[in-house]
Amino acid sequence: MDVFSSPAFDDHEQVLFFYDRPSGLKAIIALHDTSLGPAVGGCRFWPYADDAEALTDVLRLAKGMTYKAAMADLPFGGGKTVIIGDPKALRSEELFRALGRAVHSLGGLYYTGEDVGTCPSDMDWAGLETPYVLGRSQGGGGDPSPVTAQGVLLGIKAAVRHRFGHDDLDGLRVAVQGLGNVGGNLAAGLAREGAQLIVADMDAGRAALVARELGARQVGADEIMATDVEVLAPCALGGVIDDSSLARLSCDIVAGAANNQLCLPRHGEALHARGILYAPDYVINAGGLINIAQELRPGGYDRGRALAQVATIATTLAEIFERSERERRPTHEIADEVAQERIRAARHLGDAPAREPDRARAHAVG
């Protein structure tokens, strides 16, 4: 298994492998870049086919967190944890305490939290061993998904405003792929705004329930990417914009919550060439990170402050869309460039003074 020559490796600062025999924990923690501050990023628990697949995932996700924090103007870097295995079979207090000790060994350079396959009570267990845990069941930001969905809704409105000159969603056709924690909340928000919803989920029963509740039209999971709509909102897995889906897309805007929506950068170029406006994923889906980062602010978590900062996602996107139009370049390229400029600027300023106060505050979290 290649690390430094893996296609997903992008100058990551640290990649650490952890094994705990008693609990069966097999985890990889990747810290991508800590120029802006200590790395923040959740812990994914997934039955990866092999170690190489887990490594690729953690490298890509950690880099995404660096860019997400930079674009959300947060004083944090990017990191991520993956635990290899089936959460249903392996979840235990022992395992998450072992994870907590692994996180603690990084001395505050990285904060973990929940992600796909983990939940706040897992973070409670990890938090018995380290203060460097966010998103516990008590006293923090709670479930980040409704805040993420709120950011995506505002981002969709920004995209609609840019494309159609108004942000009224009434009667607009919006397809939502994936009706889980974020997609379900987003669909409810869109319905409240009067959007004409088309929904799909791998779990057809869940899609049927949402369709009934919200008066949406349900289509098959294999049809959703090709539905004729103004907005397509991918809220399931990554890599959904690829050669095969591009040939079938029939939308004006792609704006959804899923991480790593573009299979490859050239798929972002293809969207641009086809005149489809793409809201870069790590910009539009930053609500969850913004929410959880509030736990590290002086005074602790404040929902109102989190939502106020989530509203800035729309402004950031509007700037990206305008620059993309002016410079005739794809939106994902513009977003990458802005994020890289911010990270470079922080490196030039020197990262030590920025990082220390955050580390000191971290002890209050525990």
Q: What one-character DSSP code corresponds to residue 262? A: B
Nearer to ligand NAI (CB atom), residue 24 or residue 87: 87
Q: What one-character DSSP code corresponds to residue 339? A: H
Q: How far is the CB of 22 from ligand NAI (least distance, A)?
A: 29
Contacts of 145 (CB under 8 A, 6+ apart): 180, 181, 182, 185, 288
Q: How far is the CB of 40 from ligand NAI (least distance, A)?
A: 12
Nearer to ligand NAI (CB atom), residue 39 or residue 98: 39
Nearer to ligand NAI (CB atom), residue 38 or residue 184: 184
Residues of this chain that interact with ligand NAI (CB under 6 A) are: 116, 144-145, 148, 177-183, 200-203, 206, 221, 235-238, 257-259, 285, 288
Chain residue whose CB lies nearest ligand NAI: 180
Q: How far is the CB of 333 from ligand NAI (least distance, A)?
A: 21
Which residue reads 């020559």 in tokens? 5
Nearer to ligand NAI (CB atom), residue 38 or residue 64: 64
Tell me which residue of 12, 15, 19, 39 sits closest to 29, measured CA to CA.
Answer: 15
Nearer to ligand NAI (CB atom), residue 97 or residue 136: 136
Contact 334, 324 (CB under 8 A): yes
Backbone dihedral region for residue 91 (phi beyond 0: left; psi -120 to 50: alpha; all else: beta):
beta
Nearer to ligand NAI (CB atom), residue 208 or residue 237: 237
For residue 37, give the amino acid letter.
Answer: G
DSSP 3-state assignment of 302? coil
What does 201-249 look like in DSSP terms, one character per residue?
-SSHHHHHHHHHHHTPEE--TTTGGG-B-SEEEE-S-S--BSHHHHHH-
Which residue reads 């959007």 in tokens? 195
80 is catalytic: yes
Pairing of strands 43-46, 25-33: unpaired
Backbone dihedral region for residue 203 (phi beyond 0: left; psi -120 to 50: alpha; all else: beta):
beta
Please give the Cα distance from 69 to 359 (Å, whole number): 17
Contacts of 98 (CB under 8 A, 6+ apart): 18, 20, 22, 23, 25
Q: How far is the CB of 288 from ligand NAI (least distance, A)?
A: 3
Q: How far is the CB of 238 from ligand NAI (least distance, A)?
A: 6
Q: What one-character DSSP code corresponds to residue 78? A: E
Radius of gyration of the chain (CA): 20
Please give the Cα distance from 355 to 113 (Å, whole number): 19
Nearer to ligand NAI (CB atom), residue 202 or residue 318: 202
Active-site option among 26, 63, 68, 80: 80
- Known catalytic residues? 80
